[in-house]
Chain A
């Protein structure tokens, strides 16, 4: 199947937002998505963007025949009891999608090695998997990273997500949590606010 990988434009944010939700459903965490496509537009397409994004699109003859995203409501709930918590997206054009995957990434910094690129999300719609689109998206992120003199690409995967784990390991990825014992920690919500209130005054 012929596909194209290109830099996302502001107009793609509705499609990206749809796919972000699809990925969250796949990861069993749909109620954790709080961003809207307007947030994505503001945060990715201002003079100081907080992320960059690539989209994969297929020509019109391959696009989905109908609203096949599990999130498209068309007036009725499609996810049963969990739908109330899921943002209901009325973004599906009647003639199907051309954007079928995305990779969202940003630049980070290692005090040991310098510039790095972190791939936050990589997603291809289920009907379009197994055709090299995920590989194509990731290869483009790698290419962008190399052009920007990044020394490595990092990302995180849920430990139960075997298809993704196999996909990445086949490409030379190393599991640093297993190999070096790194754990992700965070201060979120109340714990962040509590700490912030005790900060020294300016």
Chain B
């Protein structure tokens, strides 16, 4: 795999991004949890107020047989804020199709993301990984990532929509 290109995603990439999101969810055994549609992705990423940014990895189409996709990997990120250190880059999803792994594409994506973080004055790049995903944890730790859940004891919590609605309509002060 000597030629691949990394670039900013464009609206036309939305079908490929959704395809790869579903492939990543399948890898994490949670395919049925993806309820996002192409319309959501288009509006949320390329509208007036983008909720995310995306990089795609593509291989030249002349090297592919008919029906093979050109976009073979992606990384979705956005900017968050830590009141102690300021802006952060948060890596939400990061995926390279199975048949294109082992060629350094993932590494190059991670380097580009790090460069983007530094260029935009971010102190840190954060993300989450499922503890069962040892391959990914090793990939990140080899490159200098620290596990804050182990080192500092942080646990991730969520409150779903039904509880949010209940909370937001609760007694006023």
B1: chain A residues at CB < 8 Å are none
Of A61-69, A76-84, A88-96, A131-139, the one contacting chain B is A131-139
Q: A107-B51, A172-B163, A191-B144 given as contacts; is B157 within 8 A of A139 (CB)? A: no
The contact string, 1 if C-beta is below 8 Å from chain A, for chain B 123-144, is: 1111111111000010010011
How many residues of chain B get a CB closer than 8 Å to chain A's CBs? 74
Contact A191 B173 (CB under 8 A): no
Contact B148 A196 (CB under 8 A): no
Q: A139-B167, A157-B154, A183-B128 given as contacts; is B80 within 8 A of A2 (CB)? A: no
Which residue of chain A has its CB nearest to the CB of B162?
A172
Q: Is A182 an interface residue (CB 8 A)?
A: yes
Q: Complex: how many Å from CA A143 to CA B93?
A: 27
The contact string, 1 if C-beta is below 8 Å from chain B, for chain A 14-43, is: 001000100010000100111100011001
- Smallest beta-carbon distance A57→chain B, Å: 11
Main secondary structure of the interface of B (DSSP, over half): mixed
- Smallest beta-carbon distance B84→chain A, Å: 5
Q: How large is the interface on A (under 10, 10 to 19, 20 to 34, 35 or more residues)?
A: 35 or more
Which residue of chain B has its CB nearest to the CB of A184?
B148
Contact A104 B129 (CB under 8 A): no
Q: Complex: how many Å from CA A154 to CA B90?
A: 14
Contact A159 B92 (CB under 8 A): no
A-B contacts, 12 listed (Cβ < 8 Å) = A3-B173, A110-B92, A118-B80, A139-B167, A139-B170, A150-B164, A151-B161, A152-B159, A176-B155, A186-B148, A189-B124, A192-B125
